[in-house]
Amino acid sequence: MTEEPIDEPEDERRDTAPESADETTQAVPLPDGEGSWTPRADGGAVDDVALDPWGSSTVDDYRNLFEQFGIEEFDALLPEVPDPHYLMRRGVIFGHREYDRVVRAMREGEPFAALSGFMPTGDPHVGHKLVFDELIWHQEQGGDTYGLIADLEAHSARGLSWAEIDEHARDYLLSLLALGFDPEEGELYRQSDNRRLQDLAFELGSEVNFSEMEAIYGFGGETSVSYMQSVVTQMADILYPQLADPKPTVIPVGPDQDPHVRLARDLAARTRYFGVTEAYASFEADPDERTVLARAYEERGAFADDPDRPRCVEAADWLASHDTPSDLHDPGALDSAIEKLRAAGKEPLRPRVRFLDRNATDDAFEALIEAIAGEKRVYEGHIDAFELSHENAEDLAREVELAHGGYGFLPPSSIYHRFMTGLTGGKMSSSVPASHISLLDDPETGYEKVKSATTGGRETAELQRELGGRADECPVYELYAYLLAGDDDEFAKEVYDECVGGERLCGDCKEQAAVLMREFLADHQEKREEAEELLADLDIEFDSARA
Ligand code: TRP
Ligand code: SF4
Q: Is 116 in the pocket of ligand 1 (CB under 6 A)?
A: yes
**455-464: which pairs have CB atoms within 8 A and are 24 or more residues apart?**
455/506, 455/509, 455/510, 456/499, 457/505, 457/506, 461/505, 464/502, 464/505, 464/506
Distances (CA, A) of 160 to 193, 231, 547: 17, 17, 11
User: What does the alpha-carbon distance between residue 534 and residue 542 come to, in Å, rounded to a whole number?
Assistant: 14
User: What does the alpha-carbon distance between residue 220 and residue 210 come to, in Å, rounded to a whole number?
Assistant: 9
User: What does the alpha-carbon distance between residue 77 and residue 88 come to, in Å, rounded to a whole number?
Assistant: 10
Task: Judge contact between 319 and 334, C-beta under 8 A.
Answer: yes
Neighbours of 327 (CB within 10 A): 8
Which atom from ligand 2 is nearest to the alpha carbon of 456? 6
- pLDDT range class, residue 40, cuts 50, 70, 90: very low
Q: Indicate which ligand has the atom closest to the C-alpha of 511.
A: 2
Where in 268-396 does DSSP place strands (E)? Answer: 274-279, 352-357, 376-378, 382-385
Task: Specify the residue with its C-alpha closest to ligand 2, atom 3.
Answer: 506
CATH architecture of 13-43+424-523: Orthogonal Bundle (1.10)
* Percentage of residues of the chain with pLDDT beyond 70: 88
Tell whether the model's pLDDT for residue 43 goes beyond 80: no
Question: In the chain, where are the structural domains located?
Answer: 13-43+424-523, 63-271+411-417, 274-403
- 473 CA distance to ligand 2 middle (Å): 9
What is the distance of C-alpha 279 from the center of its chain? 30
Q: CA-based angle 499:488:130, to the nearest 5? A: 95
pLDDT (average), residues 351-377 = 96
Tell whether the model's pLDDT for residue 270 goes beyond 70: yes
Tell whether the model's pLDDT for residue 130 goes beyond 80: yes
Tell whether the model's pLDDT for residue 22 goes beyond 50: no
pLDDT at 13: 33
Q: How many residues does the chain have?
A: 547
Which atom from ligand 2 is nearest to the alpha carbon of 457? 6
- 509 CA distance to ligand 2 middle (Å): 6
Q: 508 vs 9, which has greater pLDDT? A: 508
Task: Judge contact between 383 and 368, C-beta under 8 A.
Answer: yes
pLDDT at 60: 56
Q: Indicate which ligand has the atom closest to the C-alpha of 464.
A: 2
C-alpha neighbours within 13 Å on the C-beta side of residue 415? 34
Determine the topology of domain 63-271+411-417 in CATH.
Answer: Rossmann fold (3.40.50)
Could you report how far apart the first and last alpha carbons of the chain are, in Å? 35
What is the per-residue pLDDT across 66-101, written as a single tens digit (0 to 9) for each? 878 889 999 999 999 999 999 999 999 999 999 999
Global pTM reads 0.85
Neighbours of 410 (CB within 10 A): 22
